[in-house]
Chains A and B, each alone.
Chain A
């Protein structure tokens, strides 16, 4: 199916563990993004990417790493999870920097 999918949808992990959130899009969009959304708040940009092998830090990148070896995949890794990283994570993609972004369903991550 065409679209953008995130996995898993829900994840509970322990403090200090490494966890990877997956994002896959089928449109071959060049631009991809990771956001986090804390309860009742807006979107905060973690990382973004203009193309495969090109990534940039957003406003809240500490504690996160990304890779983009293929255009369609943009995994986000929490190197050592902390309780403050409990949030809903959204992946998004867009065809270019001016067009609308399409969002995945979100991953609710709980760090205990």
Chain B
């Protein structure tokens, strides 16, 4: 079964800390990867994406993610979090051999203590 895995269901950090949210996938071949954020009671909003080229991609609000083919990972990072970053973060993948369907991970809930 081809999957997107987010191993941490919950992460808690203090404001100003750095954070890394992990995403691993099990697809082979070329792949399109993205991260979305969902604030409480809202729809998902796009953060960043990777398809090819520089494995480190920059997103909105200081987020970045790094693609690693050897580790089958696309981890999301932020150097200094703000309380407003508290939300659920979803990793998503669309392998090139699966048409246009985007498969989401189960999400990581980030809580930033002020």
Are these two chains actual partners, yes or no? Answer: no
Residues of B participating in the A interface, judged by any CB pair closer than 8 Å? none
Which residues of A approach B to under 8 Å, CB–CB?
none
